[in-house]
Amino acid sequence: MTIHLERNGCWIRDGEPADAEPIAAIYNEGIRGRQATFETTERTADDVMSWFLASDAARHPFLVAERDGVTDRQVVGWVRASAYRPRVCYAGIAEFSVYVSASARGARVGDALMTAFIPACERAGMWKILSRIFPENLASRALCARHGFREVGYYEKHASLDGAWRDVVIVERLITTNLI
């Protein structure tokens, strides 16, 4: 198992199928919070397992953050790249999602995850990573700003969540070493 980084009281390592349950639980907290995603369908550990088994999983970094719990280390966050578009010309662009468990937010777990994730994307050959963020999600916007993302602009009324049309901010970060 590759440990990418030890920082801010947590260890960042490659995620693995055995992490599927806490990954799903953390994602579901984010879904319920209604500030992170248009998704409203909660995921099971089996759903997460299928992410690891996807044909393109090997080329998309998927990292977890662990911290010491009462008895053992616990997964408290994750970050995952996924394909941007199927066209071959976009093969080096990845979308990403980052989620920290509610009880661990604001303790720089997200910061540690992104610190390890960007070099992992570079090693995987990505030249750009991007995401879309609800404008109200100040923690996510601050995290991306801290890690060199540019806010490209807004998609207006991108989709409806609980009957309300929501804008999103597009963020992108070039990985310049892969552009030379």
Ligand X SMILES: CC(C)(COP(=O)(O)OP(=O)(O)OC[C@H]1O[C@@H](n2cnc3c(N)ncnc32)[C@H](O)[C@@H]1OP(=O)(O)O)[C@@H](O)C(=O)NCCC(=O)NCCS
Is residue 173 at the binding interface for ligand X, with CB under 6 A as the rule? Answer: no
Is 139 a binding residue for ligand X by CB under 6 A? The answer is yes
Total of residues contacting ligand X (CB under 6 A): 23
Q: Which is nearer to ligand X, 125 or 135 (CB)?
A: 135
Q: 109 and 65 in contact (C-beta within 8 Å)?
A: yes
How far, in Å, CA of 107 to CA of 170, rounded? 25
Q: Which is nearer to ligand X, 91 or 107 (CB)?
A: 107
Q: Which of 105, 119, 124, 161 binds ligand X (CB under 6 A)?
A: 105
- Given candidates 131, 166, 173, 175, which one binds ligand X under the rule CB under 6 A? 131
Contact 153, 171 (CB under 8 A): no
Position among 4, 60, 80, 108 found at the interface with ligand X (CB under 6 A):
108
Q: How far apart are CA 9 and CA 67, in angstroms?
A: 7
Return d(Cα 44, Cα 61) in angstroms, integer: 21
Hey, how many other C-beta atoms are within 10 angstroms of the C-beta on 76?
Answer: 24
The site for ligand X (CB under 6 A) is made up of 30, 33, 35-36, 98-100, 105-111, 131, 133, 137-140, 142-143, 146
